């Protein structure tokens, strides 16, 4: 491998000649091998940092034109655009477990933009600190990148996946109109529900999760940019924060980095550099979604259990063999994947909560692990929801005969008799029917509480939903 020599404030260091990063990236690469090749900084963070660098350069051009010349702006934005387009992938090798402020990844992006920008300009035009990092500090830019990346993941990936799942549930509700089945509480037989009502419960949970996530975007839209090192805004011009947020939101002739989200500067930069409540809140909403997804997946695999000795009230797609030893066995694998993702999200929520509690004085230094876990949760939820929707939920078919059979055998239909014969006599009827394995009607007649005609008039399961 060929190398070139780069220099920073600590001296000279050799850097691979075919890479655009510089000395500080190389030092981090050599000093932090924790999770190397596995737990690298997520692409979403790199994308957000590149978008921020372009926005900051445009703001600096407007506010500090003597320092950010038109030539420098063109070089910065051209290099940043290549990062955003994926053309410079392979130049961001640093791991999550580095400095807790994300400084080394911020410098990684600064160095790549400077080096590639100079190549585009055909001369030594950009300095990674003086030009690409102008009016910025890692302490305000990395948290801003965290929030931009988190907002993009929620808005562009998670919410659309959940909306697709909701659409499939709505279709299933229409297709199963009029289908009545036994309800269940405490894993015991309960009064009837319609199958569309049961499905609507699943859909409603997902819709509520979407609303929670949409609400969490409000906190993620508030950025620390402009606070620089400790929140005072040292070395950033007046109005820099507002202009950067406007550019990120699609103002000043720019494309929005996250359509539908209006970014704004944090009113209190000292809070913005230390508090991570917005990330905690947004991930809490992801956790809430994961909890509901686990419940829905469990419902579906219970209803599909069997096929002969379980509930067997629905069938789900048979996607692959389920056993290496039992021929013909098929398992609810998509449901199982959803529940495993839910467990992982719950674990990530614990790490994010602990990390958010550890701010000291003017900075929280758990930033990389927080955004890494957040983006992992968002990615897993969106991917598992799409897979679950397409490969399981879309293929649910009600076993209407089994539903009718189970409903007919349910002792809790006796609830319809309570207004006629009273709770105590209805309970006695149910117990006798269960003890002697006879129908509710037979038990009621045997006890002499109703005539056959009276029973039929009161006993209408279709009117109990």
Q: SS3 letters for the chain?
A: CCEEEEEECCEEEEEECCCCCCHHHHHHHHHCCCCCCCCECCHHHHHHHHHHHHHHHHHHHHHCCCCCCHHHHHHHHHHHHHHHCCCCCCCCCCECCCCCCCHHHHHHHHHHHHHHHHHHHCCCCCCHHHHHCCCCCHHHHHHHHHHHHHHHHHHHHHHHHHHHHHHHHHHHHHHCCCCEEEEEECCEEEEEEEHHHHHHHHHHHHHHHHHHHHHHHHHHCEECCCCCCCCCCCCCCCCHHHHHHHHHCCCCCCCCCCCCCCCEECCCHHHHHHCCHHHHHHHHHHHHHHHHHHHHHHHHHHHCCCCCCCCCCEECCCCCCCCCCCCCCCCCHHHHHHHHHHHHHHHHHHHHHHHHCCCECCECCCHHHHHHHHHHHHHHHHHHHHHHHHHCHHHCEECHHHHHHHHHHCHHHHHHHHHHHCHHHHHHHHHHHHHHCCCHHHHHHHHCCCCHHHHHHHCCHHHCC
Contact 71, 125 (CB under 8 A): yes
What local confidence, expressed as pLDDT, does residue 462 receive?
86
Give pTM, 2 decimals. Answer: 0.96
Q: Compute the C-alpha angle 415/419/422, nearest 5°.
A: 85
What local confidence, expressed as pLDDT, does residue 166 receive?
98
346, burial (CB in 10 Å: exposed 0-12, middle 13-18, buried 19+) = middle
The pair of structure tokens assigned to 426 is 């209805």
What local confidence, expressed as pLDDT, does residue 410 receive?
92
> Tokens 């674990």 identify what position?
347
What local confidence, expressed as pLDDT, does residue 232 receive?
98
Q: Which residues are catalytic?
A: 186, 323
- Please measure the distance between the N-terminal and C-terminal CA atoms of the chain and give it in whole angstroms: 73
What is the full per-residue pLDDT of the chain (465 aa) written as tens digits?
A: 899 999 999 999 999 999 999 999 999 999 999 999 899 999 999 999 999 999 999 999 999 999 999 999 999 999 999 999 999 999 999 999 999 999 999 999 999 999 999 999 999 999 999 999 999 999 999 999 999 999 999 999 999 999 999 999 999 999 999 999 999 999 999 999 999 999 999 999 999 999 999 999 999 999 999 999 999 999 999 999 999 999 999 999 999 999 999 999 999 999 999 999 999 999 999 999 999 999 999 999 999 999 899 999 999 999 999 999 999 999 999 999 999 999 999 999 999 999 999 989 999 999 999 999 999 999 999 999 999 999 999 999 999 999 999 998 999 999 999 999 999 999 999 999 999 999 999 999 999 999 999 999 998 988 899
> Tokens 């694998």 identify what position?
333
What local confidence, expressed as pLDDT, does residue 255 receive?
97
């Amino acid at each position: 491998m060929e190398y070139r020599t780069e220099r920073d404030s600590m001296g000279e260091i050799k850097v691979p000649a075919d890479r655009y990063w510089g000395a500080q990236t190389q030092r981090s690469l050599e000093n932090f091998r924790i999770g190397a090749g596995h737990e690298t900084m997520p692409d979403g963070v790199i994308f957000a940092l590149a978008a921020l660098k372009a926005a900051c350069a445009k703001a600096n051009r407007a506010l500090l034109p003597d320092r950010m010349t038109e030539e420098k702006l063109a070089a910065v934005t051209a290099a940043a655009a290549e990062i955003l387009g994926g053309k410079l992938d392979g130049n961001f090798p640093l791991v999550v477990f580095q400095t807790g402020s994300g400084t080394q990844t911020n410098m990684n992006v600064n160095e790549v933009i400077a080096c590639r920008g100079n190549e585009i300009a055909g001369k030594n035009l950009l300095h990674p600190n003086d030009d690409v990092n102008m009016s910025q500090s890692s302490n305000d830019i990395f948290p801003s990148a965290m929030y931009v990346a988190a907002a993009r993941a929620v808005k562009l990936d998670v919410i659309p996946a959940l909306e697709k799942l909701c659409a499939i549930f709505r279709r299933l509700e229409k297709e199963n109109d009029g289908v009545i089945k036994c309800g269940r509480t405490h894993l015991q037989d309960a009064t009837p529900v319609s199958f569309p009502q049961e499905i609507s419960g699943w859909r409603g949970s997902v819709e509520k999760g979407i609303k929670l996530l949409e609400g969490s975007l409000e906190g993620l839209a508030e950025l620390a940019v402009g606070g620089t090192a400790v929140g005072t805004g040292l070395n950033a011009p007046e109005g820099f924060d507002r202009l950067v947020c406007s550019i990120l939101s699609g103002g000043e002739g720019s494309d929005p980095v996250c359509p539908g989200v209006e970014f704004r500067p944090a009113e209190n930069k000292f809070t913005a550099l230390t508090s991570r409540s917005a990330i905690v809140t947004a991930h809490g909403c992801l956790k809430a979604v994961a909890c509901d997804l686990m419940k829905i997946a469990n419902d579906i695999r219970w209803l599909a259990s069997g096929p002969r000795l379980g509930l067997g009230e629905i069938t789900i797609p048979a996607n692959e063999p389920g056993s290496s030893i039992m021929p013909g066995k098929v398992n609810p694998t998509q449901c199982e994947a959803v529940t495993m993702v839910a467990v992982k999200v719950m674990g990530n929520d614990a790490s994010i909560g602990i990390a958010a509690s550890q701010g000291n004085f003017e900075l929280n230094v758990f930033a990389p692990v927080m955004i890494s876990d957040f983006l992992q949760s968002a990615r897993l939820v969106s991917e598992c929801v799409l897979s679950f929707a397409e490969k399981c939920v879309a293929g649910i078919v009600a076993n209407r005969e089994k539903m009718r059979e189970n409903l007919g055998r349910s002792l809790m239909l006796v609830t319809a008799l309570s207004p006629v014969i009273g709770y105590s006599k209805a309970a006695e009827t149910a117990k006798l029917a269960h003890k002697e394995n006879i129908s509710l009607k037979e038990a009621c007649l045997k006890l002499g509480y109703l005539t056959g005609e009276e029973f039929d008039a009161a006993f209408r399961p279709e009117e109990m939903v």
